Structures are given as structure tokens and as C-alpha cells.
Amino acid sequence: MKALSIRNLRKTYKGGFEALKGIALDVEEGDFFALLGPNGAGKSTAIGIICSLVNKTSGSIKVFDADLNKDRELVKSYIGLVPQEINFNQFETVEDILLNQAGYYGISRKKAKHRTEICLKQMQLWDRRNTVSRRLSGGMKRRLMIARALVHSPRLLILDEPTAGVDIEIRRSMWEQMREVNAQGTTIILTTHYLEEAENLCRNIAIIDHGNIVENSKMSSLLARLNVDYFVLDLAESIAMVPEIPGFSLELEEDRLLNVAVPKDQSLNQLFQELSKNNIQVLSMKNKSNRLEQLFMDLVTQNQTTHVHS
């Protein structure tokens, strides 16, 4: 069954700005799905429409076969949303925020207390349940929003940049929590600007740009398309001139940092042999950028070029 099915979704804001230009998208039940795109691409508009926060101009949306136009309340009951911006009442306690949210979903007080305990423990916030939410740290606030979105046991969890602004340690622990939620059977749609996050967590991916879906495929097949790896080499000594090595593209980034583009069909051994011949000693090497980041940039740049020319 499809967790989400979107057809010909359009949104034109007052003033004529066309945020979505008839997108179609399918997300399978149980998937961990990445919805990526640059700022202003239309991701948040699409999420806003799915979650009934934004009125659509036209198109259809089905969540677990329930039509948003006909069964809006059923669709809402299936979805849990973690929005981009902190949007809970800063004067309420952590526990009250979850109890209220459960109440809006029609969950009885007794069951709501039970679900609140489970969700807060899962997000490691149980010992903070009586804390007024504005006193939480940034990472805790983000986890609170995930706990709140889970309190009614949604079948589809939408995470709109859930780790924005949190440090890498907390981000990684949040990844584990999100994996756990997905493993329990909840379908997850993730938008993020940390492409490493999408590559680590998601099995399928769509890239949206200028209101269009420019890519929609399996993460593995998308990454397989990347035919060049980019490395940064840390050199023992500075070099006066960048050597020319056939099959490789080299560029000096700083005094002792050399950028190298290595096509998939080229051997790294050959690169190092050629560098040795030129008396260049390499102390260490690392990937220049995240693999998905490179693909993302290629796709978005390509789409922007098309957009300008059309």
C-alpha cells in the first residue's frame, strides 16, 4: 500500500508565485523517504498541503488510500508532523504539550498519559516532563517536537528539517531514534539540508526544485549514477605547479591541499604512482564532499540552467 500518493499537485500563492507546478509523488508504506530541495523549492509548501496547513490550488493527495479532499480528518489522524520551526507553547510543560496534542486527536486522558510516557522515554525527555518547554535546550526542543508528533501513533511521520541547528552528537542520536521509529513500522518522510543525513537514513529519494520533481528514485541507484569521486589530498610540502596526470583532474585548493576528481574507471594506485613520479608526498586524503551532496548540486544546477533557458 502507498503511504502517500500525490497527483498533479499545484499551489499558486496570491501574487501569482507558483510554488508547486503539478507534482506527482508516491511513498510506499514503511519507507524512509527523503524529500530534498534547495530553499524555496516547494518542499515546505508540499508538506503544508499534506498536513492541512496550506490550502492547495489543485491536485489530489491520498494518505493510506484516504483522500484528503473527502476524508480530511482520517488523513490527519494518519499523519504526525515535526515542523521546521519550534511551534509548541513555550509556557506549557513538556508533559502538558503531549497530553494536549493527544487530546486534539481524541485520545482519552488515561491512554494519553500512557502514550506520553512512552514517547518521552523514547526521546529521552521523560525526566524533563515537568519542565516548562522554553527552558529546554535546542536539541531537547527538537526531540520534544518528535515526541509530540508520535503521541497519537501516526502511520506516516513527516520530519521537516528535524535536526536543523543541533550539534552533530545530538543529531546522530536523533538518527538512531528516527531509525527506531521507522523500524517499528512508521513510514517516514524526511526533508533536510544535511545530505549526509538523507544518505544515511533514507532508502528512496525525491528532489524538488522550482516546484517540480527533478529526481525520484532509490537512493542506491541515484548514488550509483555518481561516476566521479572527489578527494582532498593533504601534501607534505607545497608545490609550485599542479602536475598534469591523464585521466584525473587536479586543482590546488590551498598551499598544501590538492583537489582531485577521480572517475570511477580510474585506479587510485595510478594516481599515487603519478604523484610519486612528480615527487609529491601525500600525508592523508579525505572525501571532498558527501556523495549525495555532489549529485544534489548537479541535479539542481542542471534544473536551474533549464529553468533560465526555458
**CB 121, min distance to another protein, A:** 21
Rg, the chain, Cα only: 23
Binding-site ranges for another protein (CB under 8 A): 13, 45, 48, 51-55, 72-74, 76-77, 79, 81, 83, 85, 87-91, 100-101, 103-109, 148, 152
Nearer to another protein, 112 or 233 (CB): 112
Closest CA to 45 of 103, 84, 71, 76: 84
**CB 53, min distance to another protein, A:** 6
Nearer to another protein, 102 or 235 (CB): 102
Left if phi > 0, otherwise alpha if psi is -120 to 50, otherwise beta: which for 87?
alpha
**CB 198, min distance to another protein, A:** 23
Nearer to another protein, 89 or 137 (CB): 89
- ∠ CA(267), CA(269), CA(271), 5° rounding? 80
**CB 243, min distance to another protein, A:** 55
Nearer to another protein, 41 or 295 (CB): 41
Closest CA to 207 of 225, 190, 226: 190
**CB contact set of 220 (below 8 Å; sequence gap of 6+):** 203
List, in sequence order, every residue forming a beta bridge with 6; answer none if it has no partner. Answer: 25, 61
**CB 77, min distance to another protein, A:** 5
Cell of residue 155, nine digits: 502511520
Nearer to another protein, 20 or 222 (CB): 20
